[in-house]
Structure 1
């Protein structure tokens, strides 16, 4: 599981990082709201652990900002000493998926993270429809204008990431991390796969859907969506 911890207390952060990495999880760390906002949109995290009392901003505002700007929306657990009903209500109203009051037992963190991930996977739509394009994440079937498209496994996964992020773009680095999480190929691994995807997704049709976003990556363009 990929976690982003936003916490200004270094002692607490060290304890959390050591505990979660000991489970084999991948944990990134931000000490303030500025770093947290930058990391949250630069990568795809399963769960963000967000302290509310940050030196350069409020975690509630950061939560709403992340939910609005992240390419693939992460689950957010607010981790804070604020324990009033009003504080919890404000957190949930700004997009928090869970709320954990300090101090807490570290063993509770992975349980909450796993529960949120299961919930996300349960409710995440298996079928996506964007204009004339339809994808089934379970069967890997893709159609455009009701015509079946035959994609490679990597081509399908690229298209799925772009469809889930729509209308936002997905950076090249994010796609590479999703497609090759453990062993990134040499040179430019995306170039040939993007070309092959365009040959199937766009070439037979009058209007292209796969657009290049200069100096960033790619996104889908959907007419009348």
Structure 2
């Protein structure tokens, strides 16, 4: 599993690393809520362990932003010292998938994380999206071009799926912004930066192949299969 730990207590973080890394799991850590949101925007994780009492941006707000603003579907297990039913309900309402009260058993935590990842995998469709030599497999959450794996950010995956579903038709800027941010796009032209990163991943990383991602100035973006276009 690729596990993101959003926790500010260094002893807890060290304990989780000591337990999970020897078992073959890959861990990353953010010490603040904002840092956790940034990690999720940049990388894909199988599951997130979220402290409920982070300084500043607390766990409830982080979870809410993950679900509502970043449209992140990664399973979230919230760790907290708050153990009332009301607290648990608030965590689940914020978007957490499970709730574990401190102190906890590491064996139980591992079992719960495996269960969350297993449950999430059953919700994915097995239909592979393909256009030209570019494909995305929702079952494994892997993108490939010409058989080689393409590493993308969570936003990159979302844009690629939208483009593959529409290909070879155009996807407007507004449609992509809706896909990424729903009805609350950022004031800056963040979409341009995400498109640039996607182009680097699927085109610039494959100089032996013709580019596939094209910009229709002022309108949107589309994928082109040169083998068909000739």
Determine if the TM-score, normalized by the shorter chain, exceeds 0.5: yes
Name 2:67's counterpart in structure 1.
67
Matches within 5 A, 1:109-120: 109-120=109-120
8 Å CA contact retained: 2:6, 2:30: yes
Measured in 2, the distance between the counterparts of 1:164 and 1:73 equals 16
Match of 1:151 among 130, 133, 137: 133
Name 1:217's counterpart in structure 2.
none
1:93 maps to 2:93 = yes
Matches within 5 A, 1:42-57: 42-57=42-57
Q: Residue deviations 1:142-201, cap 9 Å, x none?
A: 4xxxxxx5435523876976217962266738x95xx9xxxxxxxx42565671x459xx
Alpha carbons of 1:151 and 1:14: their partners in 2 closer, same or farther (altered >3 Å)?
A: same
Name 2:6's counterpart in structure 1.
6
Q: Residue deviations 1:48-87, cap 9 Å, x none?
A: 1000111122110110111234465211100111111111
Alpha carbons of 1:65 and 1:151: their partners in 2 closer, same or farther (altered >3 Å)?
A: same
Name 2:222's counterpart in structure 1.
209
Alpha carbons of 1:57 and 1:71: their partners in 2 closer, same or farther (altered >3 Å)?
A: closer
Q: Secondary structure at the match of 1:22?
A: helix
Name 1:129's counterpart in structure 2.
none
How many pairs align?
178
Alpha carbons of 1:160 and 1:48: their partners in 2 closer, same or farther (altered >3 Å)?
A: closer
Alpha carbons of 1:58 and 1:73: their partners in 2 closer, same or farther (altered >3 Å)?
A: same
Name 2:125's counterpart in structure 1.
125
The range that moved more, 72-81 or 94-103, is 72-81
Match of 2:205 among 186, 189, 196: 189
Superposition TM-score, scaled by structure 2 size: 0.64
1:32 maps to 2:32 = yes
RMSD value over aligned CA atoms? 3.6
Measured in 1, the distance between the counterparts of 2:119 and 2:39 equals 24
The range that moved more, 88-97 or 26-35, is 26-35
